[in-house]
Amino acid sequence: MVDDYSRGVFGYSSRAQVAEEIATAKAAQAGHLAKLNEASLEDIRTDPELLEFALAGGRSAFNVNCSQCHGGGAQGFAGYPNLNDDEWLWGGTLDEIHFTISLGTRNEDARISDMPAFLSDEILDAGQIADVAEHVLALSGHGTDAAAAARGAEIFAEECVACHGEDAKGIAELGAPALDNDIWLYGGDKATLIATISKSRGGVMPAWGRILDPVTVKKLAVYIHSLGGGS
């Protein structure tokens, strides 16, 4: 027979209490999950209790599913965007982030943005591409050859503004990045820019809406938006 002292030392008396606490926590979680399932993204964002729950769940889901590409701190790597800033290829609102997570990029259901491979497709020659790269460097304050940048600006106006905009600030609807800052997905040195212009890039993200349940996708959207999303 176990006496009261043994129960206190070995924790026998706490088993029922722990089981009860676990059951209570699971019931509370189930209630929050049901609310998240029914709530809109805006409802979640403006409800402090739901928001806290979504952020915690989103952080956990990010660590399991997204950190391999975007990094544990969401800092990104070459070819995988940093999610902590407010620079978004496809837009940084909560709805836009949710859309991108759900459908991914470059598949039959997602938005597709294909930049021409200007050298491989024989649109421009190597010299013209070098001039465009110099112009792009100049846009972010890093150009060193004014004459080449001026030639590149003329080519840019003919070949690039349709996607990147006349002001080179990018067009989110097309997934075309801004080129007038120091935020680069693949690198902003001249050699990398020449490689990008010459051969293009084509990063792909899974359609997480096909892999994860809708509530988890909502959690991820809310969490990622909290890192650096726009309005």
Are 148 and 41 within 8 A, CB to CB? Answer: no
Q: Which residues contact residue 31 at a Cβ distance below 8 angstroms, ignoring those fewer than 6 apart?
A: none
**Token duo for residue 19:** 């089981």
**What's the confidence (pLDDT) of residue 34?**
93
* CATH 1.10.760.10 boundaries in the chain: 14-89+210-228, 126-199
Q: Which residue has the higher pLDDT, 114 or 138?
A: 138
Residue 21 pLDDT > 90: no
What confidence tier does 152 reach under pLDDT thresholds 50, 70, 90? very high
| 3-state helix vs strand vs coil in the chain, percent to 5 | 60, 5, 40
Residue 179 pLDDT > 70: yes
**What's the confidence (pLDDT) of residue 176?**
94
pLDDT digits (tens, 9 = 90+) for 73-98: 999 999 999 999 989 999 999 999 99
**Mean predicted confidence (pLDDT) in 137-158:** 97
| Domain 126-199 CATH (choose: 3.10.520.10, 1.10.760.10, 3.40.50.1370, 1.10.3720.10) | 1.10.760.10
Rounded Cα gap, residues 128 and 125, in angstroms: 5
Please, what is the average pLDDT of the chain? 90
Burial (CB < 10 A; 0-12, 13-18, 19+), residue 137, is buried
**What's the confidence (pLDDT) of residue 144?**
95
Write the DSSP symbol of residue 165: -
**What's the confidence (pLDDT) of residue 66?**
97
Return the number of other C-beta atoms located less than 10 Å from residue 209's C-beta: 18
**What's the confidence (pLDDT) of residue 13?**
58
**What's the confidence (pLDDT) of residue 22?**
62
DSSP string, 64-94: HHTHHHH-TTS--BTTB--SSSS--TT--SH
pLDDT digits (tens, 9 = 90+) for 40-75: 999 999 999 999 999 999 999 999 999 999 999 999
What confidence tier does 161 reach under pLDDT thresholds 50, 70, 90? very high
**Mean predicted confidence (pLDDT) in 2-8:** 52
**What's the confidence (pLDDT) of residue 14?**
76
What share of the chain has pLDDT > 70, as a percent?
89
Phi-psi region of 182 (alpha: psi -120 to 50; beta: other; left: phi over 0): alpha
pLDDT digits (tens, 9 = 90+) for 98-130: 999 999 988 878 888 889 999 999 999 999 999
Are 33 and 197 within 8 A, CB to CB? Answer: no
Q: Which fold has domain 14-89+210-228?
A: Cytochrome Bc1 Complex; Chain D, domain 2 (1.10.760)
What share of the chain has pLDDT > 90, as a percent?
77
Return the number of other C-beta atoms located less than 10 Å from residue 212's C-beta: 19
Residue 28 pLDDT > 90: no
